Amino acid sequence: MTHPPSYRTRSAFTLIELLVVIAIITVLIGLLVPAVQKVREAAARMKCANHLKQIGLAFHNHHNSFGLFPQGGWNPPGSTTANTTDRTQWSWCFQILPYIEEDNLFRNTNLTTIRKSPVKIYFCPSRRAPGLYNNHSVIDYAGCAGSKTDGSDGVVVRGFAPVIGMKDITDGTSNTLMAGEKQLNLDAFGTAIDDNECPFISGWNGDYDHYRRTWKINGVWQTPARDFHSASTNANERFGSSHPAGINAVFADGSVHHIRYGVDRVTFMRACVRNDGQVLNIGDL
């Protein structure tokens, strides 16, 4: 007796099942993307901190060579930049080049090459990739000028010769901010007044290309803040970054610390000023 052939029926997704699967995948992606972004930012922040560590070591190697930290830079009266033929007027970020394996750039005599040679460790990976912006090199880090426009109570001071040494940081090197990330306008890379010149030869002209400070507005000390978007290209004096919670900064002892945007204002001022004689708990930053 023969039996009729049996046929296996093929099951298929119903529309409801398909929608459920899509919904589950969407939820998983929604959970995964923030986690990936957090991991990516943590890696970028660590890389940024390493850049500042190298900058701090370069400051110290400069000190070992000359007995002083590098000068902040200078511009002659009536000029908006340093004298391009007098390299003593050029900023700290040029003076430390031999100590960050950029000796060839330090010795280069072609001004165009110098203007258009980005230094990789001068860029924070959370903000932008190394390269030219508006056809010139830039920097994402700033020397600490303390609370004065000339840097006279900071580690980085306006001038064409080094003047500040370890002995001048009377508040203690572990308590004094030496360099950190600078706040920038994300809509004006290479064109904002504090980002529109090669920082090596920008001098110290009030544009804040390579230095930042704390100062009072209506009696309130200013603290670091996140990068922002604006149509304005005004110069900016503030420390800041593209990190979500705060900035990285290297202190005069070479240690790198993360400083919260919500840091106590007076505490941050004490960290910026090298000689106010005030007690600072580094854990409060």
Main-chain dihedrals φ then ψ at residue 178, nearest 5 degrees: -105, -40
Mean pLDDT to the nearest integer, 12-16? 72
Distance (Å, rounded) from C-alpha 22 to C-alpha 13? 12
Of the candidate ranges 13-22, 117-126, 138-147, 232-241, the one whose mean pLDDT is the lowest: 13-22
pLDDT band of 172, cuts 50, 70, 90: very high
Share of the chain above pLDDT 70, in %: 93
Instruction: Kindly state the tokens that stand for 285.
Output: 């930053």
Main-chain dihedrals φ then ψ at residue 33, nearest 5 degrees: -60, -50
pLDDT band of 112, cuts 50, 70, 90: very high
What confidence score (pLDDT) does residue 23 get? 80
Residue 231 has pLDDT above 60, yes or no: yes
Residue 228 has pLDDT above 80, yes or no: yes
Nearby residues of 35 by Cβ (< 8 Å), 6 or more positions away: none
pLDDT band of 25, cuts 50, 70, 90: confident
pLDDT band of 173, cuts 50, 70, 90: very high
| Single-letter residue type at 266 | V
DSSP state at residue 4? P
What confidence score (pLDDT) does residue 33 get? 63
Could you tell me if 273 and 171 are in contact, meaning their C-beta atoms sit under 8 angstroms apart? yes
Residue 28 has pLDDT above 80, yes or no: no
Q: Strand runs (DSSP E) across 163-223, as ranges? A: 177-181, 211-212, 216-217, 220-221
Residue 32 has pLDDT above 60, yes or no: yes
What confidence score (pLDDT) does residue 263 get? 98
Distance (Å, rounded) from C-alpha 285 to C-alpha 272? 12
* Alpha helices by DSSP H, 73-156: 92-95, 103-107, 111-115
Distance (Å, rounded) from C-alpha 274 to C-alpha 177? 8
- 131: alpha, beta or left, given left = phi > 0 and alpha = psi -120 to 50? left
What confidence score (pLDDT) does residue 200 get? 97
pLDDT band of 35, cuts 50, 70, 90: low
Could you tell me if 192 and 185 are in contact, meaning their C-beta atoms sit under 8 angstroms apart? yes
- Average of per-residue pLDDT values in the chain: 93
Distance (Å, rounded) from C-alpha 248 to C-alpha 48? 7
Nearby residues of 90 by Cβ (< 8 Å), 6 or more positions away: 73, 82, 200, 201, 203
What confidence score (pLDDT) does residue 235 get? 94
Instruction: Kindly state the tokens that stand for 150.
Output: 């000339």
What confidence score (pLDDT) does residue 30 get? 75
Mean pLDDT to the nearest integer, 28-33? 71
Beta bridge partners of 246: 260
Instruction: Kindly state the tokens that stand for 143.
Output: 């020397």
